[in-house]
Copies of this chain bind each other. A is one copy, B any other.
Amino acid sequence: MCKASRGNPRDAFFISQNYKNNHQNLITMQVAIQGVKGAFHEVAARNYFGNDIEILPMLHFSDLAESVQNGDCDYGIMAVENTISGTIHANLNLIREHKLVVCGEEYLRIRQNLVAKKGTKIEDLNEVHSHYMAINQTRKFFKQHPNVHLVDSIDTALSMKEIAENNLDKRGAIGSLLAAEHYDLEVLAESIETNKKNYTRFLILRNKETWNKNDSNKASMALVLDNHLGSLAEILSIIASHNIDLSKIESVPLVGEPWHYQFYLDVLFDDKSKYHNMITEISSKLDRIDILGEYTNGNQSYSKIHHHDN
């Protein structure tokens, strides 16, 4: 039922780097994304895995999770948090419900671009369509173009698809350069987002049964603990005492259990044995602990992207 494991994604990445030199023996990996072709999920997938992958577009996040669970693809990639809109709890729940394992992460800076039919000028446009988040991100740019009426749509790449399919010449769209290329549209203005520090974090997902653990310096987990005064402080003190750093913490109230809290934690470690000792020590004090995955952190590429922009 499940496809055989094809190695870890970083191997695949190196395979893709050597594609031209070593065309034979290449196995094209299938990566499930949410959204249509050209969506930011595809951009993140190509940044992480390289270009020699087959993209499987999924309409809903739940379809994406099912596809990974059923082994219909090799990997899935799923947005879980964004600088502006926060953590998508529903997606973290999907990962847990479908018993997927997090085996990597990718941070993508969200760059919005104005595109339209080839030959169009900004002055020709009556309307620009995009997802409301993309519109919110670019409102400042459009203040200089009062001729343009901004219209909310359900998806950035889909708004481009509509222009291409219906050959609309008074309408623009906002979204990724990849989508513009895919739908053969012209880029009228690049990187028009107001906030240049808007990142989305994507998790790379894998079926638990076909996944072989490899190197890691980061782990994501969900904890449930009894909220007596200071219980969270105690857990965090233990983590710090093992020389392990916290890169994310987020409480999730458990409805109907007023003094019971669930926390999502991400930790960073240099030494795996210290990490394992820490897990053993905190587990005895917790009502429940779920490790979502142990993987290599994506901070390097994150900082690299960031330095380019400033």
Which A positions have Cβ atoms within 8 angstroms of B? Answer: 60, 62, 82-90, 93, 132, 136, 139, 152-154, 197, 199, 227, 229-230, 232-233, 236-237, 239-241, 243-251, 253, 255-256, 258, 263, 299, 303, 306, 310
Given the interface pairs A86-B87, A90-B136, the reply to whether A237 lies near B245 with Cβ below 8 Å is no
| Assembly CA distance A67 to B134 (angstroms) | 23
Instruction: Report the minimal beta-carbon distance from A237 to chain B, rounded to whole angstroms.
Output: 4
Chain B residues contacting A152 (CB-CB under 8 Å) are 154
> Is there contact, CB below 8 Å, between A256 and B154?
no
> Is there contact, CB below 8 Å, between B229 and A240?
yes
| Assembly CA distance A241 to B227 (angstroms) | 14
Chain B residues contacting A83 (CB-CB under 8 Å) are 89, 253, 255
Given the interface pairs A87-B87, A197-B256, A233-B236, the reply to whether A249 lies near B247 with Cβ below 8 Å is no
A-B contact pairs, 29 of them (CB 8 A): A60-B136, A62-B139, A83-B253, A83-B255, A84-B93, A85-B90, A86-B87, A86-B89, A86-B90, A87-B87, A90-B136, A152-B154, A197-B256, A199-B255, A229-B243, A229-B244, A229-B245, A230-B240, A232-B236, A232-B246, A232-B249, A233-B236, A233-B239, A246-B251, A247-B251, A248-B253, A249-B250, A249-B251, A249-B263
Instruction: Report the minimal beta-carbon distance from A223 to chain B, rounded to whole angstroms.
Output: 12
Chain B residues contacting A84 (CB-CB under 8 Å) are 89-90, 93
Instruction: Report the minimal beta-carbon distance from A23 to chain B, rounded to whole angstroms.
Output: 39
| Assembly CA distance A237 to B230 (angstroms) | 6
Chain B residues contacting A245 (CB-CB under 8 Å) are 227, 229
> Is there contact, CB below 8 Å, between A233 and B237?
yes
Instruction: Report the minimal beta-carbon distance from A47 to chain B, rounded to whole angstroms.
Output: 17
> Is there contact, CB below 8 Å, between A236 and B230?
yes
With most chain B CB atoms within 10 A of its CB, the pick from A247, A248, A253, A255 is A255
With most chain B CB atoms within 10 A of its CB, the pick from A82, A244, A249 is A249
| Assembly CA distance A133 to B85 (angstroms) | 15
| Assembly CA distance A244 to B303 (angstroms) | 37
> Is there contact, CB below 8 Å, between B132 and A154?
yes
Chain B residues contacting A85 (CB-CB under 8 Å) are 88-90
| Assembly CA distance A32 to B264 (angstroms) | 33
Chain B residues contacting A237 (CB-CB under 8 Å) are 230, 233, 237
> Is there contact, CB below 8 Å, between B256 and A310?
yes
Instruction: Report the minimal beta-carbon distance from A120 to chain B, rounded to whole angstroms.
Output: 24
Closest to A152 in B: B154
Chain B residues contacting A87 (CB-CB under 8 Å) are 86-87, 250
Closest to A201 in B: B253
Closest to A84 in B: B90
Instruction: Report the minimal beta-carbon distance from A48 to chain B, rounded to whole angstroms.
Output: 19
